Structure 1
């Protein structure tokens, strides 16, 4: 992953994390009106559009929202997925912001999975010159261009960089979603554990060794963290994909 000033070409597709936009608009309009929330949505969306496309085209500017249900709730056995969150964290005008993203920006709502999965599948379909607009670090497992509209920063992730980020998350977990990693292992220590790996299989075995051979736990974390690239995809270790289950 590298920090850059942005692509020198005109992106054909920009994929917007509508969940982040809706929450930001909702929190920014606390104590105000739903109209203020809509104004904030427009402000954020216009900022993203102006910084990712010279001439924003509606059918190349896609927005995604997380809907009902999520396959990850059934996968999580060790700890409840997102079990550390409470309803009180939701801003007053969140639903107004979401509805506005659907009505004005034609946002697509997921079912049975997250908006992140829809974004990852779309980025896979459109290719590495796609731009993902989000502030969510989880997106950095997707090989494409990334625009962090909260920091106004660009980065580019290739296939290997995306894989390294994903396996790093398997080791560290993700506190935001209540996915527990190895105690005492943060990004720096995870980087040391994976630094000599040159293939995905080596990344897999390094994680398995770090978890003292707890295959089920590593697979559980991986399936919770992996953003789908195909419909109904359920992540499998590279050894299983290659036909070697040992």
Structure 2
């Protein structure tokens, strides 16, 4: 069994493990309480004692060695849980091909100004030294997991906490909640269809107005085939976008569709099932 690991999320979480936010409360007289490990702890401590105070927070960063140790320990824990020592780790390229197709809203543009963890670069370099791969051709880690997962089939398990990957048929493992999910072809297509309709707020993909995951699934789960599902998606897009619906649908689909092979594209998938 080969573990296909989402290196982007592993990198972020382990780099953040070396950062702690501490909370303090002060009054104008110069009195100070704290630091507290969480905002909740601070509020519980101060309730009934003070009514006029200012809340402060500060970031405390541990040495980079701690982040690297957290990465190594997390990776080993994942492999132990899966009962394998065979794995592949993928890290996204610095530029995604999706950025070239995003005309309505900049792909992941809502993340501008969000600081990466201090030790992100150090952890990334450590993963690369240990055999992680940077995705080629402006692909993202999700795409390489989709490509390898499709190619390997039952010989692998996709390891990530990103629910977007559940559009890929196969076995999935969430290493934070320790849960396995088996996705068949129908469920994978349904999850993709729901994302095409609802978009993805995390990646700044708007989708259709007024349609969230619950409404999208309710609308599509009665589909008798992938072609029927695509037909329903086209109807909703046309109702909202009129003459521009086809172009907009192709754009939104490209943003959320995870590749299954190196020459794959949402346009190819769409044309196959929309005929």
Query: Which band: TM-score by shorter chain?
Result: 0.7 to 0.9
| TM-fit CA distance, 1:89 | 3.0
Pair 1:45-2:97 in alignment: no
Pairing of 1:48-67 with structure 2 (within 5 A): 48-53=78-83, 56-57=84-85, 60-67=86-93
Across the aligned residues of Structure 1 and Structure 2, the Cα RMSD in angstroms comes to 1.6
| TM-fit CA distance, 1:113 | 1.2
Pair 1:110-2:135 in alignment: yes
Q: Which residue of 2 aligns with 1:101?
A: 127
Alignment check: 8 A CA contact 2:231 2:274 kept: no
Q: Which residue of 1 aligns with 2:43?
A: none
Pair 1:70-2:101 in alignment: no
1:117-169 Cα deviation digits (max 9, x unpaired): 11110001101442011000111011011111111111100111100000000
Pair 1:229-2:254 in alignment: no
User: How far, CA to CA, are the matches of 2:212 and 2:274 in structure 1?
Assistant: 32
Name the structure with the higher strand share.
Answer: 2
Pair 1:200-2:203 in alignment: no
Structure having greater relative contact order (Cα 8 Å, sep ≥ 6): 1
Alignment check: 8 A CA contact 1:128 1:143 kept: no
| TM-fit CA distance, 1:102 | 1.1
Q: Which has the larger Rg? A: 2
1:178-230 Cα deviation digits (max 9, x unpaired): 00022221111111211220111111111111122511111111111111111
Pairing of 1:69-88 with structure 2 (within 5 A): 69-88=95-114
Q: Which residue of 2 aligns with 1:153?
A: 179
Alignment check: 8 A CA contact 1:204 1:237 kept: no
Residue of 3, 11, 20 corresponding to 1:14: 3
User: How far, CA to CA, are the matches of 1:226 and 1:28 in structure 2?
Assistant: 31
What is the DSSP-based 3-state SS (H/G/I as helix, E as strand, rest coil) of the residue aligned with 2:219?
Answer: helix
| TM-fit CA distance, 1:108 | 0.7
User: How far, CA to CA, are the matches of 2:215 and 2:179 in structure 1?
Assistant: 25
User: How far, CA to CA, are the matches of 1:158 and 1:121 in structure 2?
Assistant: 16
Alignment check: 8 A CA contact 1:20 1:134 kept: yes
Alignment check: 8 A CA contact 2:194 2:216 kept: yes
User: How far, CA to CA, are the matches of 1:67 and 1:207 in structure 2?
Assistant: 31
Alignment check: 8 A CA contact 1:129 1:145 kept: no
| TM-fit CA distance, 1:88 | 3.2
| Structure 2 gaps, min length 5 | 20-60
What is the DSSP-based 3-state SS (H/G/I as helix, E as strand, rest coil) of the residue aligned with 1:236?
Answer: helix
